[in-house]
């Protein structure tokens, strides 16, 4: 497999701001992604949702571009795509355009990050927008079930709170809250610029020096580390009128960079990572219990988990949980065949090849690594680690993570039998 990427360049601007450049041939685009290693896990209870709110406010105007329309008009004139996102551990702002317009993209992004005004009137107006976003998630149990699951895992800690915050915290924020948060969380010591596409490192470095010279230094406030503790299976049910029940059944695993990370990735692929995976086949094709079924890994810098999500009939939750648990048990009891493992590895490699065809996905790849790992790993090295996993590695990791006291089940449903689910929830 060939990736059309030259060797990446890791540079530092004169103000010490890290710059990662990934030259790519065979594309006419370039993506600039500014990622800040702060998110909802860096918040206090009173700040819950502030990281996400800050992201919104960067699109509300600067001295040079005084409002949302002025910013959006310039971004639209690039003829590309742009957006932002907030997660538990990092926040990102990106623009993808034709490669020759990269300088303009850097100009606009730097202006947003350095000169945004955070006007009190705009903050008050945006509260209504974010409260409607909260309402939107409340009406989307397929998406919300993962938040319920993380709340079950990590409880009343920053890791367990919803990234978007609550209506109460969002409504409480004033301009001073934003300014205090920005002083510590946004600056040279917590930010990376990643540029991927048909560019040269020298030209990118020159443009970044020009536009990010005024980016502030900061005394970064790191997050509270997760303390894993669980001595018995855990269950959390959110009763809500729905046409189907949504469940998420999973276990604690490893943080990003752990030696067993790649075995756990393949374990998830085999269980529920494709239409030919074990749980998809059993739940959907053989039993007709679900439309969507997927098993996935989530990795943070200090913790991780593997979970299976599915939407099932309201009267079939117990049966569905039992099927998933049986799938987990078989991973411990039997070695996967070389054929099945090879198919999982090929699926992983093929999806990675598709993912890394575009400059925005390449930028995201290196941005996540810059925040989550000690060292940047190229796609070839990543695949080498995947291909080195053996059937015995899969079974060893399954036995390590599929333990009775580590089971966690979250359910959103109009009806759920707590006693029956507790009785089923064991190996």
CATH number at residue 34: 3.30.830.10
Q: What is the mean pLDDT of residues 418-423?
A: 95
Same domain, 238 and 337: yes
Q: What is the mean pLDDT of residues 400-405?
A: 96
Does any domain span residue 223?
no
Does any domain span residue 373?
yes
Q: Tell me, what's the pLDDT at 6?
A: 65
Same domain, 139 and 248: no
Domain that holds residue 396: 234-424
DSSP state of 284: I
Q: Tell me, what's the pLDDT at 4?
A: 46
Give the Cα separation of 293 and 276 in Å (integer): 11
Same domain, 171 and 239: no
Same domain, 245 and 156: no
Give the Cα separation of 257 and 369 in Å (integer): 10
Does any domain span residue 263?
yes
Q: Tell me, what's the pLDDT at 2?
A: 37
Same domain, 306 and 189: no
User: Is residue 46 very low, low, confident or very high in pLDDT (cuts 50, 70, 90)?
Assistant: very high
Give the Cα separation of 173 and 123 in Å (integer): 8
Q: Please state whether beta strands 81-86 and 91-98 pair in parallel, antiparallel, or not at all (unpaired).
A: antiparallel
* Cα–Cα distances in angstroms (integers) from residue 355 to residues 115, 350, 361, 362, in the given order: 33, 9, 6, 8
Does any domain span residue 134?
yes
Residue 370 CB partners (closer than 8 Å, separation 6+): 18, 20, 35, 192, 194, 376
Same domain, 152 and 239: no
Please write the tens of the pLDDT for every residue from 152-200.
999 999 999 999 999 999 999 999 999 999 999 999 999 999 999 999 9
- Give the number of domains in the chain: 2
Same domain, 171 and 257: no
Instruction: Specify the residue for token string 């059309």.
Output: 4
Same domain, 298 and 368: yes
What residues are paired with 296 via a beta bridge?
A: 307
Same domain, 135 and 272: no
Across all residues in the chain, what is the average pLDDT? Answer: 96
Nearest Cα to 297, choosing from 342, 333, 355, 258? 258
Does any domain span residue 219?
no
Same domain, 316 and 195: no
* Cα–Cα distances in angstroms (integers) from residue 151 to residues 148, 158, 225, 410, in the given order: 5, 9, 15, 9
Does any domain span residue 228?
no
Does any domain span residue 225?
no
Residue 218 has pLDDT above 60, yes or no: yes
Q: What is the mean pLDDT of residues 291-301?
A: 97
Q: Tell me, what's the pLDDT at 5?
A: 61
> To the nearest 5 percent, what fractions of the chain are helix, strand and coil?
50, 20, 35
Same domain, 191 and 46: yes
User: Is residue 427 very low, low, confident or very high in pLDDT (cuts 50, 70, 90)?
Assistant: confident
Same domain, 207 and 263: no
Look up the pTM and report it.
0.96
Instruction: Specify the residue for token string 């059937």.
Output: 391
* Cα–Cα distances in angstroms (integers) from residue 211 to residues 65, 102, 319, in the given order: 15, 12, 58
Does any domain span residue 262?
yes
Question: Which two three-digit tokens encode residue 346?
Answer: 């090929």
């Amino acid at each position: 497999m060939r990736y059309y990427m030259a060797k990446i360049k890791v540079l530092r601007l004169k103000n010490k701001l890290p710059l990662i450049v990934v030259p790519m041939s065979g594309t006419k685009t370039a993506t600039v992604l500014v990622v800040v290693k702060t998110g909802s896990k860096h918040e206090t209870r009173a700040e819950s949702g502030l990281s996400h709110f800050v992201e919104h406010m960067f699109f509300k105007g600067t001295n040079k571009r005084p409002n949302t329309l002025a910013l959006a008009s310039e971004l639209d004139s690039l003829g590309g795509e742009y957006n932002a996102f907030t997660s538990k551990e990092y926040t990102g702002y990106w623009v993808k355009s034709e490669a020759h317009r990269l300088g303009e993209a850097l100009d606009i992004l730097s202006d947003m990050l350095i000169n945004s005004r955070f006007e009190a009137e705009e903050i008050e107006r945006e509260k209504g927008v974010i409260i409607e976003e909260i309402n939107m998630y409340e009406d989307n149990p397929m998406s919300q079930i993962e938040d319920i699951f993380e709340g079950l895992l990590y409880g009343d800690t920053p890791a367990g709170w919803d990234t978007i915050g609550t209506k109460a915290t969002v409504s409480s924020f004033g301009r001073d809250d934003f300014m205090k948060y920005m002083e510590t969380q946004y600056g040279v010591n917590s930010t990376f610029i990643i540029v991927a596409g048909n560019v040269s490192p020298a030209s990118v470095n020159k443009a970044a020096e020009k536009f990010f010279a005024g980016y502030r230094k900061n005394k970064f406030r790191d997050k509270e580390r997760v303390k894993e503790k669980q001595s018995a299976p855990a269950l959390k049910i959110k009763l809500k009128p729905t046409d189907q029940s949504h469940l998420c059944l999973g276990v604690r695993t490893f943080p990003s960079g752990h030696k067993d990370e790649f075995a756990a990735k393949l374990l998830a692929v085999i269980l529920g990572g494709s239409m030919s995976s074990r749980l998809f086949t059993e739940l959907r094709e053989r039993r007709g219990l679900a439309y969507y079924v997927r098993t996935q890994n989530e990795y943070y810098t200090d913790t991780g988990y593997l979970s299976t999500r599915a939407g099932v009939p309201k009267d079939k939750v117990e049966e569905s949980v039992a099927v998933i648990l049986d799938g987990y048990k078989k991973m411990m009891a039997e070695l996967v065949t070389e054929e099945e493992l090879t198919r999982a590895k090929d699926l992983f490699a093929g999806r990675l090849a598709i993912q890394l065809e575009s400059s925005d996905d390449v930028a995201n790849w290196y941005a996540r690594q810059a925040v989550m790992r000690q060292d940047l790993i190229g796609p070839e090295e990543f695949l080498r680690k995947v291909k080195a996993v053996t059937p015995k590695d899969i079974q060893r990791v399954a036995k390590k993570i599929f333990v009775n006291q580590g089971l966690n089940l979250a359910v959103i449903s109009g009806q759920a039998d707590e006693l029956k689910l507790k009785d089923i929830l064991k190996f």
